Amino acid sequence: MCGIFGCILKEGSAAPLIHSSLKRLEYRGYDSVGIATISSGKIHMKKDQGKIDEVHKILDLDNLPGKIGIGHTRWATHGAPLKINSHPHTDCRGEIVVVHNGIIENFMELKSELQNLGHTFVSKTDTEVMPHLIEEMLKQNPKLTLEQAVMESLKRIDGSYAFAIISTREPDKIICARNESPLVLGINGKDVFCASDIPAFLEVTNKAVMINNYELVILTADGYSIKKIPDGRIIERAPIVVDWTAEMAEKRGYPHFMIKEINEQPQTLRNTLRIQDHYLDLLSTFLDRANEVFLVACGTSYHACLAASYMFSKLAFLPTFPVYASEFLEQCGKSVNIDSTILAVSQSGETADTIGAVTCAQQRAATVLSLTNVIGSTLTRVSRVYIGTQAGPEIGVAATKTFTSQLSVLAQLALKLAIKRGKISQDEMDLLEEQLQNIPEYVEHIVATQEEKIKEIAKKYAKSKVFFFLGRGISTATAFEGRLKLMEIAYIPSIAFPAGESKHGPISLIEEGFPVVFVCPQDDTHKTIIGNIMEMKARGAHIIAVVEEGDENIKALADEYIEVPKGIPTILSPIPFAVPLQLLAYHTALEKGLNPDMPRNLAKSVTVK
């Protein structure tokens, strides 16, 4: 998830505005920044790795000539956060300049095709194929206009994109295009703007034109025109007025980053479904060959590891050992060896305990693999193979979208492993792949249909002194995550454990009205968990059950119930079942007048041991 911006001004210089607009998009990514303008038929470009303020100090991003320009602030997905991979990217002759937000899925084959046609690539990014593709279209058919060459190039692109393109061939325009990645125009009757998000131009206008999927835009000093990709049909669309403050807009109208990020999950989950097969294959091959696999992480990422241990075992018959990174040295430090494989999971890729664990393992010649949301982070630099979870910058301290993205990638790895190990039938595989594709819509449905009910439950139990979170099987991991969310942002002491453990001690805490959250997918554990619910009810507990739609048995037993769509395969169930628990924690924090984004004593990335 990056931020792109472009503008055509009637008078004045574009660079300072592009610079300040990228600043307002910096929450979308801050690995590198770059600006390109056109003046007297020449391209002027400045770019480098690092945060905008740091790069500006060195390069002075305001000092480029020209009224027309584009810019980019990067969240690295393909290619480390280095100057060579920073946007804008150009064609061989530097005449076509492109900034991009999204993932070009078929960039590998396009790149080798263009290289065979003599194009020279300088970066490791997927984006660089686009300026070369446009150049090749114009080389093969010089009669094409820039717009036509872009349209032809887009027909070859698979994946998500928001592009902004300028060229010395037609120096009076910016061409943009969108599929999935957000793109919006800003209009103020004098100048025109294009951006990944409204915050970018809110200082200069609040009149916005939303661009839909498969639409191409031509911006000139006279305004904008929208055309359908690929047939070029003209689309009329008037601007809308947005009543947001710049600060609010960063939250896209949501009161807090946390609730915004909860609502971003359908999109971030779709992003995980676009991860290159090549990487999933590579990482699952290492897991398949491993003698022993440790799943190492902290906090929410550890809960993803716990869920993964069920996924790998149930689907691929691969036993794995989830270990708290902060305990790895003590628990496994002496036994880990050259035949050991570590799969470390970390949203930030900078958590000191996790880095410490993988460093220890590396020193004992173990193989280190990882999942992280921050390409270029320390963890990626110490990993043999890593996969980026594509969730974009997560600003709320409480991990939400990064958790469900981790689970989606881990489920895809478990599926790859099961196929490699011949542990899964074609039908099972097809069902799982189909359900994986449906998960984003399921999460959308849950937020849309259950949030009001969850608000009521939060209002009713916000004063509770303590909470229990119980689950069986893979839902134990979901229960642990629900517990962590409520503790870290609503400050309610909460206990979670496998429901089967209740009668071995914790049930002694139960008194009349004690809130107990049960995570109850209709899987092999369904029957037994009904017994656990009865045990708790018999002692006066108030049952808050997260159930599948139509689960009348548990709904009849529960004091409150929250529904998720039915028929979701067990190994995927933590994704949709975690969302109601994220919302419960969020609304309970609000009920208690707390700021869910800035919980006390916590930091987004714990870089101290």
Annotated catalytic sites, by residue? 2, 604
Residue number, 355 or 541, with CB nearest to ligand AGP:
355
Question: Beta-strand (E) ranges in 357-439?
Answer: 367-372, 385-388
Of 195 and 360, which has the nearer Cβ to ligand AGP? 360
Determine the interface stretch with ligand AGP among 124-132, 231-239, 395-403, 527-535 (rule: CB under 6 A): 395-403
Nearer to ligand AGP, 69 or 599 (CB): 599
State yes or no: residue 399 binds ligand AGP (CB under 6 A).
yes
Looking only at residues 295 through 354 of this chain, which bind ligand AGP when binding is defined by CB under 6 A?
Answer: 298-301, 346-348, 351, 354
Of 200 and 397, the one with the shorter C-beta distance to ligand AGP is 397
Q: Which of 13, 106, 123, 605 binds ligand AGP (CB under 6 A)?
A: 605
Using alpha carbons, select from 339, 350, 338, 301 the residue that is nearest to residue 322.
301
DSSP per-residue string spanning 261-330: HHHTHHHHHHHHTTS-HHHHHHHHHHHHH-SEEEEEE-HHHHHHHHHHHHHHHHHH----EEEEHHHHHH
Residue 84 or 352: the one with the smaller Cβ distance to ligand AGP is: 352
Smallest separation (angstroms) from ligand AGP to the CB of 604: 6
**276: closest CA among 88, 421, 85, 413?**
413
Could you give the C-alpha distances from 550 to 127, 448, 555, 562, 564, in angstroms and in order? Answer: 46, 18, 8, 11, 10
Under 8 Å between Cβ of 483 and 515: no
| 319 CB neighbour count, 10 Å cutoff | 10
Q: Which two tokens stand for residue 461?
A: 């139990």
Number of residues near ligand AGP (by CB under 6 A)? 15
Residues in 122-161 at the binding interface with ligand AGP, rule: CB under 6 A: none
Q: Considering the complex, state which of residue 518 and residue 586 has its C-beta at the smaller distance from ligand AGP.
A: 586
Q: How far is the CB of 299 from ligand AGP (least distance, A)?
A: 2
Whole-number minimum distance, CB 358 to ligand AGP, in Å? 11
Q: CB neighbours of 154 closer than 8 A, spacing ≥ 6?
A: 177, 216, 229, 230
Nearest to ligand AGP by Cβ — which residue? 299
Rounded CA separation 72/166 (Å): 13
CB of 412 to ligand AGP, least distance (A): 19
Token look-up 């708290």 returns 324
SS3 track for 492-547: CCEEEEEHHHHHHCHHHHCCCCCEEEEEECCCCCHHHHHHHHHHHHHCCCEEEEEE
Query: Please, what is the minimum distance in Å from the beta carbon of residue 458 to ligand AGP?
Result: 18
**Helix then strand then coil, % of the chain, to nearest 5:** 40, 20, 35
Q: Which is nearer to ligand AGP, 301 or 532 (CB)?
A: 301
Angle at 227 between CA 222 and CA 233, to 5 degrees: 125
Look up residue 180 and give its DSSP letter: S
CB of 350 to ligand AGP, least distance (A): 7
Among 68, 154, 295, 398, binds ligand AGP (CB under 6 A): 398
Q: Is 334 helix (H, G, I), strand (E, B) or coil?
A: coil
User: Which of 517, 453, 458 has the alpha carbon at shortest distance from 490?
Assistant: 458
Total residues belonging to the chain: 609
d(CA 228, CA 77): 28
Choose between 128 and 597: whose C-beta lies nearer to ligand AGP.
597
Cα separation, 55 vs 524, whole angstroms: 55
Q: Which is nearer to ligand AGP, 349 or 498 (CB)?
A: 349
Count of other CB atoms within 10 angstroms of residue 40:
9
Stretch that binds ligand AGP, among 6-14, 95-103, 397-405, 456-464 (CB under 6 A): 397-405
> According to CB under 6 A, which one of 488, 523, 548, 563 is a site residue for ligand AGP?
488
Binding-site string for ligand AGP from residue 183 to residue 222, where x marks contact by CB under 6 A and - marks none: ----------------------------------------
370 binds ligand AGP (CB under 6 A): no
Helix (H, G, I), strand (E, B) or coil at 166: strand
Identify which of residues 19 and 587 has a Cβ nearer to ligand AGP in the complex.
587
Q: How far is the CB of 151 from ligand AGP (least distance, A)?
A: 41
User: DSSP string covering 30-60, please?
Assistant: -SEEEEEEEETTEEEEEEEES-HHHHHHHH-
According to DSSP, the residues that pair with 240 across neighbouring strands are: 208
CA distances from 548 to 304, 369, 410, 522 (A): 21, 35, 23, 7
Among 183, 323, 397, 579, contact with ligand AGP (rule: CB under 6 A): 397
Q: How far is the CB of 39 from ligand AGP (least distance, A)?
A: 43
Residues that bind ligand AGP (CB under 6 A): 298-301, 346-348, 351, 354, 397-399, 488, 605-606
